Amino acid sequence: MKSSLSWIPLNWRFEARLALRYLMTGGGQTLLTIGSVAAGVIVIVFLTSLIFGIRAKLTKMLTESMPHVTVKVRDLEPVPLSEIQDLDSAMSSSRIEKKAPQLKFIDDWQHAIDTIRTVPNVRMALPAIQGQGFASKGGNPIGVSVTGADPSQQDQVSPVTKDLIAGKYVGLAADEVVIDYELAKDLSVSIGDRIRMTSSTGNTEPLSIAGIYSRGQGRGGAYVTLRTGQSLFGMGNSVNVILVKVNDLFGSDEVADRIQSLLPYEARSWSREYPSFVSSLTVQSASAYLISAFSLIASSFAIASVLIVSVLQKSKQIGILKSIGAKRSQILRVFTLEGLIIALAGSLAGAALGSLLVFLLSLPLQKTARPGHVPDQLFPVAILPVYIFGAVIAAIIATVIAAWFPAKRAASMNPVDVMR
Amino acid sequence: MADSETTTRSQIVVETRGLKKTYFGKVETPVLHGIDIQVQAGEFIAIIGQSGSGKSTLLNILGALDVPTEGTVLIDGVDIATLSEDDLAALRNRVIGFVFQFHYLLDELSCLENALTPITICKGEASEDEKSYVLALLDRVGLAEQINKHPDAMSGGQNQRCAIIRALANQPKIVLADEPTGNLDSRSGNEVFNIMREMNREKGAAFIMVTHDDRLAQEADRILAIEDGWVHEIDKREHRMKLISSLNDS
C-alpha cells in the first residue's frame, strides 16, 4: 500500500492515494471520463491530420511545380504626364497607358543570383528564360509556354524528370525539347520526332523531342536548355527571369520583399500570386482550430458533470475527512488530482488511438493515377507530432479546469451539513 | 487550595461558557440557550435528551465543526473562536476524535488504511511506530483478521469498531461520539460501548457520548441531559432508579 507512491512528496501522498483509489474503484464512471477525454483528443488528432494533410498536399501540388519567388525586370509604372512635366509649359493628357509588354533582360544575372543567395531562407536561385511560342509539326501551330534553363537545376525548381512518362530531361541537348503529354498528343508526336518551335520574337528553331512529361494538371509547356532559350528569344547572354526556391514556403513574402530591396528588379512570391489560395488555407486551419476547441469544451463539460456527480456521491466521505482534520486545500487536491489522472490517461489513450486511426486512413490509395505514376493516398492525412502533442497538452489543461470546479465545491462542503 | 485549582483547571479538556446557538434560516431557531459544561481529562460523559433537543448541535460545536452564536468554547485550553479554518482542521485532527452513528469509513480504503486516516491526512504516511500502535488497537478490538478488508466486506459492528480506532489513531485528548451504537443491534452495540469504555480507561481520552440508550448512559461517569436547549446534570443514582423501574414496567 505504501511503496508504490513513495516518490510522491509526503504532503501530497494522502491526496494522491485517495485520488487513485477513487479512480480505481470508480469502474464505469472512470472509464466514461477517460473515454470522453480520449474522444476529444481523437477528434483533434484526426481533424488536424486531415486538414493539415490536405493543406500540405494542396500547397505541395501548387508550389512544387512553380518557383516560390520569381524575379523579373520591373514593369514601368504608368505615371501621369502632369507629374513629370511642368504643367504650365506642357500639354496634359487624361489617357494613361502602360507600355506594351515586351521581353526585358536581366543582364547582370550572375551578380543578381549571388545577391539573392545571401537572403535568408533562399534554397536556390536559377537563371532562366520564360516566354511564349508556337510549336508545330506540319499542321497548325499550337501556343505553348517555353522555359529555357539548366535541366538539373530546373528539376529542383519545377521538377520535370519526376513527371516524365518517356525519354529524358537531364542531359538535354541544345536541339532537343521536352514537352507536355497533352501537347504531344495534339501534335501527334513521340520521342525522336522533330518539331518547329517559333518564339514570340519570331525566331524559329527545329527541335527534336527528347522527353514527354505529365503533371496531371492540364496542359503544361515546353522545356529547352538555357542556351536554346536565349537564342529562341534573341537574348544573347542575358536571361529574363530568376526563379527562386525557399525553404519555408510561407516565408516567401519576406524573401520577395528582401530581394526587391536589394535589387532593382521586381520579386513576386507565389503566395501573392495566389492570394485566394492562401486565404482558403487560412480558413481551413482556422476551422480546424475552432472544431478542436469545441470538441475540447464538449469533453470538458462531460468530465465536469461526471465529477460533480462523483463529488455529490462522496459528500458524506468529504464530510468525515474534514471532521477528522482534512484541510480545504487537501480536499481540493484530491479531486483536482483525480481530474489530472483522468486527463493524463485519457489524452494519452486518445493520442494513441487517434494516431492509429490516422495511420489506417493513410493506407488506402486513389483508384486512378496519372499515366506512369503510383496512385496517391485516398485521404492525404499525415501524422503531425506537433498537433498530437498540442492536443494532449490542451486536453490536460481543459480537463484539470473542468475538475477544478467540482473540486472547489467539494472543498467548500460543510461537514455539519453533509453528514446530517 | 490555589494549587489544587490550578491542577483541576489544567485537566479540563473541554469547557463552554454561556454557549448559545441559534440557526438563522427562514425562521430564527434557537437551539442552545446558554450551556456551561466542563469535561475533565479521562472522563466518560453521556449526553442524553429527546430528538431535536440540541445534543448533536452541542457535539458539533465541541468538535469544532460548527461555531457558537454566542459564548466561548475552550478545547484543550484554546478558544476555538481565535483559530483559522486550517488551525481548526489541525485541532480536529490532533486533539479530537469523532465517532458517528454511521461509521463513514471510506469504501476505497482497507480497514487498516481507514484506521490510519487521521495520521495520513496529517503526515502523508504513517510511521512504523504509528502503524504498530494502530495495529495493536485493531487487534485489541478483534479486527486483526480484518485489517485488509474493505468496509463493504465487514459487518456493521466491525466497521464501527474500526471507526472507533480511527478516532483514537492520533491519540486525541477528546473523543466525541454521536450515538455510536444507534445503528447497531444490541449485542454489537454493547460490544462497541464496552470497547469505548475500555479505551477511555486505557488511553485516558475523555469521551463525550450522545446516546438514546439510558442503559449505556448509566455506565458513564457523568450524565448530562439536554432539555429544550438547557443542560443539567443528572444524578446517577436517580437515573439508576428510573432505569430499574422502567425495566420492571416492561
Nearest by CB to residue B93, choosing from A11, A320, A324, is A324
Nearest by CB to residue B123, choosing from A10, A18, A415, is A10
Same domain, A238 and A354: no
Same domain, A107 and A138: yes
Same domain, A380 and A335: yes
Closest CA relative to residue B227, chosen from B46, B38, B29, B50: B50
Strand partners, A146: A131, A222
Cα-atom radius of gyration of chain B, to the nearest Å?
18
Evaluate whether residue A231 is within a structural domain: yes
What CA–CA distance (Å, rounded) separates B44 from B11? 14
**B79 within 8 A of B117, measured Cβ to Cβ:** no
The nearest CA of chain A is from the CA of B240 a distance in Å of: 31
pLDDT above 90 covers what percent of chain A? 34
pLDDT in tens, B168-188: 999 999 999 998 988 888 888
Evaluate whether residue A269 is within a structural domain: no
Same domain, A345 and A410: yes
Instruction: With a cut of 70, say whether residue A169 has pLDDT above it.
Output: yes
| ipTM, 2 dp | 0.87
Same domain, A250 and A113: yes
pLDDT in tens, A73-125: 877 666 666 666 555 555 555 566 655 555 578 888 899 999 999 999 999 99
Domain that includes residue A246, residue range = 74-86+102-264
Q: How confident is the model at residue B75 (pLDDT cuts 50, 70, 90)?
A: very high
Helix (H, G, I), strand (E, B) or coil at B242: helix
A13·B120 Cβ contact <8 A: yes
Strand partners, A131: A146
**Does A320 touch chain B if contact means CB atoms closer than 8 Å?**
yes
Residue of B111, B116, B121, B175 best to disrupt the A interface, most CBs of A under 10 A:
B121
pLDDT at B144: 92
Q: Tell me the residues of chain A between 3 and 42 that have a Cβ less than 8 Å away from chain B.
A: 9-14, 17-18, 21-22, 24-25
Evaluate whether residue A94 is within a structural domain: no
Q: How many CB atoms lie within 10 A of CB A379?
A: 19
pLDDT at B172: 93
Domain's final residue, options A203, A229, A264 = A264
**Does B60 touch chain A if contact means CB atoms closer than 8 Å?**
yes
Counted domains in chain A? 2
Instruction: With a cut of 50, say whether residue B109 has pLDDT above it.
Output: yes
Same domain, A52 and A80: no
Instruction: With a cut of 70, say whether residue A373 has pLDDT above it.
Output: no
| Residues in Cβ contact with B25 at an 8 Å cutoff, skipping those fewer than 6 apart | none
| Residues in Cβ contact with A26 at an 8 Å cutoff, skipping those fewer than 6 apart | A310
CA angle A174, A179, A182 (to 5 degrees): 165
**A245 within 8 A of A209, measured Cβ to Cβ:** no
Same domain, A258 and A397: no
pLDDT in tens, A382-393: 788 888 898 899
Contacts of A326 in chain B (CB under 8 A): 89, 93, 121
Angle between helix axes A109-117 and A252-262 (nearest 10 degrees) is: 130
What CA–CA distance (Å, rounded) separates A121 from A140? 45
Same domain, A253 and A112: yes
Mean model confidence pLDDT for chain A: 85
Evaluate whether residue A96 is within a structural domain: no
What CA–CA distance (Å, rounded) separates B234 from B218? 10
Q: How confident is the model at residue B221 (pLDDT cuts 50, 70, 90)?
A: very high
Evaluate whether residue A401 is within a structural domain: yes
pLDDT at B126: 92
Q: Tell me what the mean pLDDT of segment A10-34 comes to.
A: 88
**B206 within 8 A of B12, measured Cβ to Cβ:** no
Angle between helix axes B156-168 and B186-203 (nearest 10 degrees) is: 20
Taking the complete model, does pTM exceed 0.95, yes or no?
Answer: no
What CA–CA distance (Å, rounded) separates B124 from A22? 17
Same domain, A220 and A259: yes
Same domain, A59 and A110: no
Provide the number of CB pairs (under 8 Å) joining chain A to chain B.
82
Same domain, A222 and A109: yes
Angle between helix axes A328-361 and A28-63 (nearest 10 degrees) is: 50
Same domain, A109 and A244: yes
Q: How confident is the model at residue B115 (pLDDT cuts 50, 70, 90)?
A: very high
Domain's final residue, options A209, A235, A264 = A264
Evaluate whether residue A239 is within a structural domain: yes
Judged by average pLDDT, the poorest of A18-22, A381-385, B58-62, B145-149 is: A381-385
Evaluate whether residue A9 is within a structural domain: yes
What CA–CA distance (Å, rounded) separates B195 from A117? 91
pLDDT above 90 covers what percent of chain B? 58
- Phi, psi dihedral angles at B17 (to 5 degrees): -130, 115
**Cα–Cα distances in Å, from A388 out to A291, A296, A341, A384?**
15, 14, 19, 6
Helix (H, G, I), strand (E, B) or coil at B33: strand
pLDDT at A258: 93
Helix (H, G, I), strand (E, B) or coil at A180: strand
pLDDT at A28: 86
Domain's final residue, options A264, A288, A315 = A264
Q: How confident is the model at residue B7 (pLDDT cuts 50, 70, 90)?
A: very low
Evaluate whether residue A91 is within a structural domain: no
pLDDT in tens, B14-26: 999 999 999 888 8
Give the up-direction half-sphere exposure of residue A276: CA atoms within 13 A in the CB hemisphere.
Answer: 0
Q: How confident is the model at residue B9 (pLDDT cuts 50, 70, 90)?
A: low
What CA–CA distance (Å, rounded) separates A286 from A279? 10
